[in-house]
Structure 1
């Protein structure tokens, strides 16, 4: 599941499609880029703004993989954390890297017992840890 078809999400979608992996786009109203159509591609037009769409995207996820981003990415990571959904963030030099400095450290933002936010240095680690987290599922 992806929140759209622009930026890094387009690269992920294209790579998944080349490998025969189904891609579901959870779109905000008036997305900046319309995703391609075709076999294995599903677009859900939520009719919501970006923040509203993020609730559906995160709530529907077994785990969240964040490639790095700005406030929208940060919102999704914190939302996943609060919902007990494991999240993994790629250190990218983008504002989302600052999430690592929140709270008491160790990926804990507050006193919740759910999964901590994990931070990794490579896309390969992001993929591996995200899949592993998805297998374990939600913890709240």
Structure 2
């Protein structure tokens, strides 16, 4: 896998998190989204459609416990054979109403003042080549 990373600039780890853990995370996210939507007197679907992205300091992000970070970090450190440091995390919701693709970009361009070496994308639902929210372009 490390050779794939060196060659292409990315690699894919399947089944990093158990489905039970993902179900728990999704349940917590839905509860928190519902609470936030009710606070501004709107539906959960409207709230997600209008918001769709939450950063590290968001109360939506705070409902995801650190064990998810630890699991992902441990898996990556094994593959990369390096100690890693979490710089930031975001949740980006790609719901059924969003039809347009996000233009080709590199995530590091979003943090010029606090750059990082790579991004980890973790799908919270089953994805395949037809439904995946991420297209990987070899370097």
The normalised TM-score by structure 1 is 0.26
TM-score (norm 2): 0.26
Normalized per residue, the structure richer in strand is 1
Q: Which has the higher contact order (CA 8 A, sep 6+)?
A: 2
